[in-house]
Structure 1
């Protein structure tokens, strides 16, 4: 079954629509996809395709949520409220347990803490509660010497940095994001989905791999007590079902800052547009200096969880490794279904792509079509 592409593009961005339509025609299953982009604070792409999907449909965005949480942290660093080179334990004394006393906030943002999960794992309800996650992680023994290596803190980084934010400001990341970023800029991307918006939410659909793809996927499933297994909560009594996690109402309501955000491509692109440029007369959230401090590659070497190299800047993923057409100081983050959002100060592009159905490979960052879609946007922006 084929799906028509809906929506609009600005003059000069017709090639983006063609690229999106070509992908939708090729996809074996309905991805329920949305694509949005801004250039220098002006929306230039607003497209979608799929059954029961519109430009305003909301879906669970998993780790794209980390981008929103780290924008809050970047704002507080920019304002001098947080110091990147101060020890986490100076803000949060309980975190000093088990040899974590010397870890700095900078190192925490680089996924270097060594506490990617807890003994015995978390239930899904616990993974929805950042305060509970932080309390359990404070006393957890790290899996490597803090600061000496790094590994993706998939379910917990937002709880860890969020607890630092709460100790300093008395407010949660969710509250600060709402008051300082989402509401003022009219962003349709939520950490904690209000009940009145629930009718616009569309459940996440599972991956439908071929037999060959399924066999390859099973080969990558981590042993429960390995570092990747603990990071992905495979050591819990019931291994976390990532599809069910995104479809759980408690996760949507509480909006855990690592993985619980709900939104659409319009909202994610607008958030990143506001991060680097003027939107509707409002000034950029971040200075160029702050973007440069949080972007770029900060973690050479191999990620102990994902196996990727040079994976992170400060909190944000180092996307230029995968997409060399992006500027070095691009900030952004992918999500488990294959979605992606970023801001590239070099081209002025803010990009967002969301999928309702998991792509293959699943749960390993942005899906392959992002390369061609994002490059078509950047190419059009530079031509314009």
Structure 2
């Protein structure tokens, strides 16, 4: 059973949302769209907690994994718009310790587009390392780059939260979670936290992980995990201290400030964060910053971490069409390892298939969260079907060329 708001003209989204429960294995989820700043879809449904059979309600929250990167990136752009953070200045001007081992010319721009060359750390991360901000930033400052910074990109899947997050902290004088609350979530009245207050814990739906089989280790990413423990993919995936062994479902994991991975919100929070960005920047960023935010900054046919073609703006994902270029798409469905939006859109996928983005050309903001993770590295059929329904509702015709077009 689903509940909430669906305005006339957006029935396709409601139908796709219901179909996810009826035939695609959805357990609990929420989806929200705004167009021109007006909420046109705000739906939720299913089960929040399978152990207790608690329903997913209007106020249910869930961890959104790498959708958090969009929030962290937005913090950096707010500071840039305020003149407090120069994205093209060497990081060493604010964070001198980071300049070690040939990283002296790294800029915040490189941190945002995943080219700063510290996508992981080599030495074992202590169990509580991800919950210790100073420990992680010190480790990253001490790390040798995996390539010459700025020359290629590899998804900084876990480290992004401390590279970009530390620049936010040093430029603002506040912790990342505090800055996000004070400058973005608070003013926009969003249920969205990087570092969840304890009084909100009862609202969080536990995540149900997707279980891979040994036979699934055939994609480049999965092969690296299985055969080369010193590879960038393996270090990113496994060398995360206690986070790797279920931290996403713990109070400690929710309370920490992990700017790459532990944001907690719902679809309304994601769509609400991106709504000003879809409509001129609002009070968050000026026009120059907004233009800069959405342009492709780095792209590759073989991401050093994800081992698929990727396209990144400054802290955000752009449309990525890997339907014919990914082995995962053949194994688990064409929407795995892709996220297909409009050409002007930018946002971020979270592990398992959550998504938030803005499309300034359409005046659209979008959020989708769920508690049952799907396979693949980017979207899966549940989330992409909602994106597709949103664009079709706005009169877009097809995504044959890798982006939605009218």
**Structure 1 ranges of 4+ moved more than 4 A:** 208-220, 235-239, 320-325
Q: Is the 8 A contact 1:291 1:331 kept in 2?
A: no
SS at match of 2:276: helix
What's the counterpart of residue 36 of structure 1? 32
Q: Residues of 1 paired with 2:284 and 2:183: CA distance?
A: 9
Tell me the residue number matched to 1:159: 162
Deviation digits for residues 272-323 of structure 1, max 9, x if unmatched? 1133338xxx934233432221213211223100123242111111126555
Task: Out of 366-375 and 257-266, give the one that drifted further.
Answer: 366-375
Deviations 1:167-190 (A, max 9, x none): 222212211111111111110111
Distance 1:339 1:123, change over 3 A: farther
For the pair 1:16 / 2:32, whether they are aligned, the reply is no
* Alpha-carbon contact 1:276-1:286 (below 8 Å) kept: no
Residue of structure 2 equivalent to 1:345: 360
Deviations 1:210-260 (A, max 9, x none): 78658879646352210111222x24688923xx12112112112311111
Alignment partner, residue 59 of structure 1:
62
Q: Deviations over 1:142-193 (max 9, x none)?
A: 1111112111111111211121222222212211111111111110111111
Aligned pairs, number? 370
Contact preservation (8 Å) 1:125, 1:250: no
1:46 Cα offset (Å)? 1.2
Displacement of 1:77 in angstroms is 1.1
Residues 115, 283 of structure 1: CA spacing in aligned structure 2 closer, same or farther, 3 A cutoff? closer
Q: 1:42 to 1:121 in 2, by over 3 A?
A: farther
Out of 331, 344, 359, the residue aligned to residue 346 of structure 2 is 331
Q: Is 1:298 paired with 2:300?
A: no
Q: Which residue does the alignment assign to 1:115?
A: 118
Counterpart of 2:334 in structure 1 is: none
Contact 1:125–1:251 (8 Å) recurs in 2: no
CA distance in 1, matches of 2:16, 2:213: 25
Residues 238/171 of structure 1: CA separation in 2 closer, same or farther (3 Å cut): closer
> Cα distance, 1:264 vs. partner?
0.8
Distance 2:394 2:166 in 1: 39
- Residues 139 and 188 (structure 1 numbering): CA distance in 2 closer, same or farther, change over 3 Å? same
Structure 1 pair 373–32 and aligned structure 2 pair: CA distance change class (3 A)? same
The residue matched to 1:62 in structure 2 has which SS?
coil
Distance 2:269 2:2 in 1: 19
RMSD, aligned α-carbons? 2.4
Are 1:141 and 2:129 counterparts? Answer: no
Does 1:264 find its partner at 2:266? yes
Aligned residue for 1:251, secondary structure, equals helix
TM-score calculated relative to the size of structure 1? 0.89
Q: Is the 8 A contact 2:293 2:313 kept in 1?
A: yes
Cα contact 1:297–1:310 (8 A) shared by 2: no
Change (3 A) 1:19 1:286: same
User: What is the alpha-carbon distance in structure 2 between the residues aligned to residue 160 and residue 80 of structure 1?
Assistant: 19
In the TM superposition, residue 261 of structure 1 has moved relative to its aligned partner by: 0.9
Aligned twin of 2:231:
226
The 1-side partners of 2:128 and 2:19 are apart by: 40
**What is the distance in 2 between the residues matched to 1:150 and 1:325?**
21
Question: In 2, distance between residues paired with 1:378 and 1:240?
Answer: 35
CA distance in 2, matches of 1:209, 1:237: 21
Matched-pair contact (CA < 8 Å) for 1:35–1:48: yes
Distance 1:209 1:30, change over 3 A: farther
**Following the alignment from structure 2 to structure 1, what is the Cα–Cα distance between the partners of residues 68 and 242?**
24
Q: How far apart, CA to CA, are the structure 2 residues paired with 1:235 and 1:59? A: 24
Secondary structure of the residue aligned to 1:276 is: helix
Superposition pairs of residues 185-264 of structure 1, within 5 angstroms = 185-208=188-211, 219=223, 221-222=225-226, 223-232=228-237, 234-235=238-239, 240-241=244-245, 244-264=246-266
Q: Distance in 2 between matches of 1:56 and 1:141?
A: 43
Matches of 2:103 and 2:57, distance apart in 1: 46
Deviation at 1:8, TM superposition (A): 2.0
Counterpart residue number, 1:309: 309
Q: CA deviation at 1:138?
A: 0.3
